[in-house]
A and B are shown apart, each in its own frame.
Chain A
Amino acid sequence: MASLKRSFESDPFAQNISSKVYVRSTKSGKVQKIVREVYLRQDIPCSSKLCNACLKIAPRDAANRPIPFVLSEKPAGTSVFTQGHYIVPDTNAFLSAMDLFEQSSAFYDVIVLQVVLEEVRARSLPLYNRLVSLTKSEDKRFYVFFNEFRLETYVTREENESVNDRNDRAVRKAVKWYNEHLSKTSKKAPAVVMLSNDRDNLRKAKEDDIPAYSLANYVSQLKDGEQLLDMIPELEERDALIEKKPGQFLYPEHYTLSKMNTGVKNGLLHQGIFNVSPYNYLEGSIRVPAFPKALLILGRENINRAVDGDLVVVEVLPKDQWKQPSTQVIEEEAVTMNENPTEEGSDLISEKERKVLQEEAKRTLAKTTEGHALPTAKVVGVIKRNWRQYVGHIDQSSVSSSAAQGRKQDSVFVIPMDKKIPKIRLRTRQVAELLGKRILVTIDAWDRTSRHPTGHFVRSLGELETKAAETEALLLEYDVQYRPFPKTVLDCLPKEGHDWKVPASMDDPGWRDRQDLRDLLICSIDPIGCQDIDDALHARALPNGNFEVGVHIADVSHFVKPNNAMDTEASIRGTTVYLVDKRIDMLPMLLGTDLCSLKPYVERYAFSVIWEMNSNADIVGSRFTKSVIKSREAFSYEQAQLRIDDASQQDELTNSIRTLLELSKKLKQKRLDAGALSLSSPEIKVHMESETSDPIDVKTKEHLPTMSLVEEFMLLANTSVAAKIYEAFPQTAILRRHAAPPKTNFDELANQLRVKKGLDLSVESSRALADSLDLCVDPKEPFFNTLIRIMATRCMMSAEYFCSGTQSYPEFRHYGLASEIYTHFTSPIRRYADLVAHRQLAAAIEYEAVHPAVRSRGRLEAVCKNINVRHRNAQLAGRASIAYYVGQALRGKATEEDGFVMKIFSNGFVVLVPKFGIESLIRLRDLAEPEPAATYDAETYTLTTSGSREVKVELFQKVRVRVTDQKDETTGKRGVKMELVSTY
Chain B
Amino acid sequence: MPLDTSAYSLALLRVDGRRWNELRRIHAQIRTQAAADGSSYLEMGHTKVMCVVNGPSEPGPRRGATSGGGGGGGQSKNAEVAVNIVIAGFSSVDRKRRGRGDKHILELQSTISQALAASLHTHLFPHSTINISLHVLSQDGSLLAALINAATLACVDAGIPMTDYVAACTAGSTSTYAANDEGADPLLDMNHQEEQELPGLTVATLGDSDRVAVLVCESRVQVSRLEGMLAVGVDGCKQVREILDRVVREKGIKMIQEGTVERGVGLNDMELD
Contact = CB atoms under 8 A, between A and B. Distances in A.
Interface of A: 1-2, 4, 6, 11, 13, 17, 19-20, 22, 30, 32-41, 44, 59-63, 67, 114, 117-118, 121-122, 132, 135, 144-146, 148-149, 562-563, 851-853, 856, 858-859
Contacts of A33: 93
A250 to B, nearest CB: 33
Given A2-B31, A4-B32, A121-B3, A32 B17 contact: no
Contacts of B193: 36
A144 B17 contact: no
Contacts of A59: 11-13, 19
Contacts of A851: 180
A62 B21 contact: yes
Given A36-B193, A62-B228, A859-B178, 18 more contacts: A1-B32, A1-B34, A4-B41, A6-B27, A30-B94, A32-B93, A37-B140, A38-B17, A39-B17, A61-B12, A62-B21, A114-B3, A121-B3, A146-B13, A146-B17, A852-B220, A853-B178, A853-B180
B58 to A, nearest CB: 26
Residue picked from B10, B41, B228, most chain A C-beta under 10 Å: B10
Nearest to A143: B11
Contacts of A37: 16, 24, 45-46, 140, 191
B1 interface: yes
B3 A38 contact: no
Size bin of chain B's contact surface: 35 or more
A118 B180 contact: no
A61 B185 contact: yes
Nearest to B33: A1
B29 A2 contact: yes
B80 to A, nearest CB: 28
B264 interface: no
A312 B103 CA distance: 43
Contact of B177 (A30, A60, A149, A852): A852
18 contacts: A1-B33, A6-B27, A19-B46, A20-B2, A35-B46, A36-B2, A37-B24, A37-B45, A37-B140, A38-B17, A40-B17, A67-B12, A118-B3, A132-B10, A145-B11, A148-B17, A149-B17, A853-B178
Interface string B7-43: 1001111011111111011010101111100000100
B13 A32 contact: no
Contacts of A853: 178, 180
A851 to B, nearest CB: 8
B69 interface: no
Contacts of A62: 20-21, 185-186, 228, 232
A563 B183 CA distance: 14
Interface string B45-87: 1100000000000000000000000000000000000000000
Contacts of B20: 61-62
A2 B13 contact: no
Contacts of A40: 17
Contacts of A32: 93-94
A601 to B, nearest CB: 38
Contacts of B19: 59
A598 to B, nearest CB: 30
A563 B41 CA distance: 46
B27 A41 contact: no
Contact of A2 (B1, B11, B32, B228): B32
Given A17-B25, A37-B24, A37-B46, A852 B2 contact: no
Contacts of B16: 36-39
Given A17-B25, A32-B94, A859-B178, A117 B3 contact: yes
Given A39-B18, A61-B185, A144-B10, A11 B27 contact: yes
A919 B10 CA distance: 53
Contact of A121 (B1, B21, B228): B1
B11 A563 contact: no
B11 A122 contact: no
A118 B41 CA distance: 35
Contact of A44 (B11, B22, B27, B179): B11
B193 to A, nearest CB: 7
B93 A34 contact: yes
A144 B10 CA distance: 7
Interface in B225-244: 228, 232
A852 B224 CA distance: 14
Nearest to A145: B11
Contacts of B191: 36-37
A24 to B, nearest CB: 8
A118 B11 contact: no
B49 to A, nearest CB: 12
A915 to B, nearest CB: 51
A282 B3 CA distance: 41
A22 B193 CA distance: 14
A852 B33 contact: no
